[in-house]
């Protein structure tokens, strides 16, 4: 059984659309020094730096991965003029003389950023700058160690933008059906159809492999989407905690002293706020996801949400 290529490509696009919707409210940083990592077939990665000098005459830049000596390493300025540099393999850095240059551009290939476990490829590194990862075509993300700042489709694949720090991305390739054997020619140039023996079993096997693959991909997408949603919720809750008023802090601390939850009347005695003021602040805290208001025996029961304990 042969699956159409649009279906395979749709897997990656579905993930992109889903994560793009969840991350619509996450701000993207402006122009800054950045690393671009393009993963090529076989796990080889092309790494490109754009570092802004800000007027300094020499830069020591930590490298992502170990440059492969089989390929050319280039260091140029914004006009593509070569710059003098010294590679320190022990420290994993490159020292660049950048007099009169506003940008330093570095390009090299490496095989030390990726590894494979089973059918899953992983990209694992730490970057001192914002980093943009471009996955191979037809790749589907199955794991992220943190929420990307931006996700966009690129040439049938996915581009992910991350903040500086450690980055781990897992991905698999969409299922590709095995090629069918050619038919045998008969006399007179008429093609003879392939033997029916075993054909049904082969088609069933291909179908089961396809179903299993897409089931794994769908589960991975749902798990990843849940991870992203939780991370965004925690980020919003953290921002909300940073903007609490003095009355809000009284309510949160009062609920903590009452074991994490209490009826409104009990909470009012602890925080000593007027009924109207207390209710207005409670509704605001509920809107930002820091408390939950429940009806118990006709009375308002207030309890802390998990987000209220975000570190």
**209-242 pLDDT tens trace:** 666 556 666 666 666 666 666 666 666 666 666 6
Does residue 185 belong to any structural domain of this protein?
A: no
- Does the pLDDT at position 123 exceed 90? yes
Asked if 104 and 158 sit in the same domain, the reply is yes
Binned at pLDDT 50, 70 and 90, residue 205 comes out as low
The predicted structure's pLDDT at residue 241: 62
Does residue 282 belong to any structural domain of this protein?
A: yes
- Does the pLDDT at position 134 exceed 90? yes
By DSSP bridging, strand 45-52 and strand 34-39 are antiparallel
Asked if 37 and 132 sit in the same domain, the reply is yes
Q: Which residues contact 175 (CB under 8 A, 6 or more apart)?
A: 3, 8, 209, 210, 213, 214
Sign of the Cα pseudo-torsion (88, 92, 93, 94, in order): positive
Asked if 71 and 166 sit in the same domain, the reply is yes
CA distances from 157 to 138, 143, 171 (A): 6, 15, 11
Q: Structural domain tally of the chain? A: 2
Asked if 63 and 156 sit in the same domain, the reply is yes
Does residue 49 belong to any structural domain of this protein?
A: yes
Does residue 12 belong to any structural domain of this protein?
A: yes
Short-list 65, 225, 208, CA closest to 142:
225
Asked if 10 and 153 sit in the same domain, the reply is yes
Asked if 149 and 259 sit in the same domain, the reply is no
Does residue 269 belong to any structural domain of this protein?
A: yes
Does residue 103 belong to any structural domain of this protein?
A: yes
Q: Which residues form the domain of 97? A: 5-22+32-176+210-235
Asked if 95 and 153 sit in the same domain, the reply is yes
pLDDT tens-digit series, residues 150-200: 888 877 788 999 999 999 999 998 655 445 555 555 555 555 555 555 556
CATH classification at residue 37:
2.60.40
Asked if 257 and 294 sit in the same domain, the reply is yes
Asked if 151 and 258 sit in the same domain, the reply is no
Asked if 98 and 49 sit in the same domain, the reply is yes
Q: Which residues contact 305 (CB under 8 A, 6 or more apart)?
A: 237, 289, 290, 291, 292
Asked if 40 and 132 sit in the same domain, the reply is yes
The predicted structure's pLDDT at residue 160: 92
Does residue 204 belong to any structural domain of this protein?
A: no
Does residue 107 belong to any structural domain of this protein?
A: yes
Asked if 87 and 150 sit in the same domain, the reply is yes
Phi first, then psi, for residue 99 (nearest 5°) are: -65, 130
pLDDT tens-digit series, residues 260-308: 889 999 999 999 999 888 999 999 888 888 889 998 888 999 998 875 5
pLDDT tens-digit series, residues 43-75: 899 999 999 998 899 999 999 999 999 899 999
The predicted structure's pLDDT at residue 61: 94
Binned at pLDDT 50, 70 and 90, residue 89 comes out as confident
The predicted structure's pLDDT at residue 13: 53
CATH classification at residue 290:
1.10.10.10
The predicted structure's pLDDT at residue 30: 41
């Amino acid at each position: 059984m042969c699956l159409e290529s649009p279906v395979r490509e749709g897997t990656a696009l579905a993930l992109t659309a889903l994560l793009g919707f969840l991350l619509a409210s996450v701000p993207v940083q402006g122009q800054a020094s950045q690393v671009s990592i393009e993963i090529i077939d076989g796990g080889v990665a092309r790494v490109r730096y754009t570092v802004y000098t800000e007027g300094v005459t020499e830069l020591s830049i930590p490298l992502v991965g170990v440059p492969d000596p089989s390929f050319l390493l280039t260091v140029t300025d914004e006009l593509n003029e070569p710059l003098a540099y010294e590679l320190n393999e022990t420290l994993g850095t490159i020292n660049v003389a950048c007099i009169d240059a506003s940008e330093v551009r570095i390009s090299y290939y490496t095989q030390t950023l990726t590894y494979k476990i089973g059918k899953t490829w992983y990209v694992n590194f730490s970057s001192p700058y914002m980093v943009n990862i471009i996955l191979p075509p037809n790749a589907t993300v199955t794991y992220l160690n943190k929420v990307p700042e931006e996700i966009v489709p690129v040439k049938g694949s996915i581009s992910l933008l991350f903040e500086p720090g450690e980055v781990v991305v897992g991905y698999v390739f969409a299922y590709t059906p095995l090629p069918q054997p050619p038919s045998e020619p008969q006399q007179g140039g008429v093609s003879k159809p392939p033997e029916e023996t075993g054909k049904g079993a082969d088609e069933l096997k291909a179908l089961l492999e396809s179903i299993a693959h897409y089931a794994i991909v769908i589960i991975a997408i749902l798990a990843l989407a849940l991870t992203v949603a939780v991370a965004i919720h925690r980020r919003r809750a953290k921002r909300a905690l940073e903007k609490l008023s003095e009355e809000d802090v009284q309510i949160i601390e009062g609920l903590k002293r009452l074991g994490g939850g209490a009826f409104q009347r009990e909470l009012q005695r602890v925080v000593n706020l007027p009924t109207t003021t207390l209710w207005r602040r409670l509704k605001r805290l509920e809107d930002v996801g820091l408390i939950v208001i429940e009806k118990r025996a006709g009375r308002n029961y207030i309890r802390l949400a998990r987000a209220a304990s975000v570190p």
